[in-house]
Amino acid sequence: MKVVERDLRAIRDAGRKVLVGYFMGGVTPDWTDHVEAAILAGVDAVEIGIPFSDPMMDGIVIQQAALRALDRGTTVDSVCADLERLRHTVPLLAMTYYNVFHHYGLERSAGLLATSGLSGTIVPDLPLEEATPWRTACDEHGLATVFLVAPSTTPERVRRLAEATEGFAYATARMAVTGRSSGTGDGERVVASIRLVSSVPTYIGIGITTGEQAQAAATVSDGVIVGSALVQVILDGGGPRGIEDLVRTFRTAIDRGTESVA
């Protein structure tokens, strides 16, 4: 079991719902300050986006952030260099598209991510059937490989993905890109399908942009993933204080829901 999964299982065993925040690397010169603010406010893990020009899973907000980061010259190297100044006490996971790592070199990518303090990766366009080379490179450097499970995933494929994923399973609540949505989608059903075959921590993401949505999703899962709402604060110039305030809103909503269930 990878270190990140051990730590996330320990949080679940302690009765706490996990809040994962997503941030686009390189979107501003001080982007790591936003990450530190989120950690201070109560996130339990952070996804670090490495910008890519043609994302398949990201909605308009994260696309805009990626383009801004690319315009600033952001690369795998620059994101990892920035991470050297990041003060963190929670797991960090890189999230990007396979073209980035394939172009950079799988072994080189995994090694650089590991030495920069990351403990896992999420590559949404890399199918399980083609993931062996990347998983091998990650294994050599102690990195977890997180897989996504969609509302359309068949039971047999859910089983295979749940067996393969490390750290946690990413339960996508919608057949959609990231961004604002109404309601809670199919997250509960996806989580239930994973729990039938695995005890891996399972978090709901895609479309979680309000405290109410986060609270509802957390009551039927082990945690939630929030991305676009946080990135929008940065694009709007809200700064680290704006991030801290928003994360505390999500944290309070999630914890209140946990208390009401208990």
Q: Which residues are catalytic, by number? A: 47, 58
CA distance 226 to 230: 7
3-class SS shares of the chain: helix, strand, coil, % to 5: 50, 15, 35
In terms of C-beta density within 10 A (0-12 exposed, 13-18 middle, 19 or more buried), how is residue 157 classed? middle
Any idea what DSSP says for residue 198?
-
Q: What are phi and psi of 246, to 5 degrees?
A: -70, -40
CA distance 110 to 88: 20
